[in-house]
Structure 1
């Protein structure tokens, strides 16, 4: 295994700044797009993410859904409660543990997810229409790689901000 050549710090810093600005712009646009498009279906963006996770992963306990959404369990419970009230998700006895409950998408919830997802994919097609196939594939691969790297850092507990190096999992460590 050969070592990666070191990039000049100023070049890496410029690239990091440019990536930060580009990702921030993209996330901001998508947050507003998601809020405006998804909320017109009487569910929040977070509820839509929960619905998506349950469609893609299948029935899940609240803790597993909380981990998938990167939310605390109480917030996830409120999200699930709202989806149950609206008839998009149901609670069932967990097949592996009689004391536990599993969340499952209802047929109505699946139809809603598919409708929202179809509209969002149509929007992506409009964005990609003028790009050649190689560029489309490269853009998707880069975004997937960045998402995986960011996910790995987030899950590993890597933090950001001025107190990140001093903050650990030790409850006695104070930051701020």
Structure 2
């Protein structure tokens, strides 16, 4: 009696299944990290968004508010509120822009840098604990995959690709706003 051959999944169904599993894994990871970040960072009397702004200023150096807003993917008014809070707390200062005296440059203060270094060191220590039991090649592979996924997601975001029907709805809302003004 001939054996029936099991059908192998088509490449498109395999890709779909892999995408579903990746989506679930990334969602779990992001959710856990969001809570971790909130719990760890907020104990320093700054919000996660303020910490991201501090990190951006540490990594890219002094910049204008518009550049920071683009880096954080926030609108200008939200960025201003984030920066105002960091200035009040003494972690960021505003200075005249060296290129355009009418503009303002944002930069991290010494206490802001010290806070960033302390938070970053604690977060890295947590990563050490997570990676401790993994082989070096697995650690390197995981990091490379996350970098590639982040780069691909960034490229899609920057090209204006949105999620699902939101692009249609958001586009329609934007068109309505233009025609009514």
1:26 aligns with 2:29: yes
Correspondent of 2:66 among 53, 63, 68: 63
Deviations 1:81-127, CA, capped at 9 Å, x for gaps: 00000000000000010110010000000000000000000000000
Shift of 1:167: 5.0
In the alignment, structure 2 segments of 5+ residues that lack a partner are: 1-9
Alignment of 1:117 onto 2:120: yes
| Structure that is richer in helix per residue | 2
Structure with the greater alpha carbon radius of gyration: 2
Q: CA RMSD in A?
A: 1.6
CA distance in 2, matches of 1:161, 1:173: 20
Q: Is 1:11–2:14 an aligned residue pair?
A: yes
What is the distance in 1 between the residues matched to 2:34 and 2:90? 25
| Structure 1 SS opposite 2:167 | coil
**Residue 80 of structure 1: CA displacement?**
0.2
Residue of structure 1 in register with 2:164 after alignment? 161
- Equivalent residues in 2 for 1:14-93, closer than 5 Å: 14-93=17-96
After TM superposition, the structure 1 stretch with the greater mean CA deviation from structure 2, 37-46 or 154-163, is 154-163
Instruction: Say whether residues 1:133 and 2:139 are aligned partners.
Output: no
State TM-score, norm by structure 2.
0.88
Counting matched residue pairs gives: 168
Q: Deviations over 1:121-154 (max 9, x none)?
A: 0000000000000000000000000001111111
Q: What secondary structure is seen at the aligned counterpart in 1 of 2:111?
A: helix
8 Å Cα contact 1:38-1:48 kept in structure 2: yes
1:99 to 98, 102, 113: 102
1:164 is paired with a residue of what secondary structure?
helix
Q: Give secondary structure in 1 for the equivalent of 2:24.
A: helix
- TM, length-normalised to structure 1: 0.91
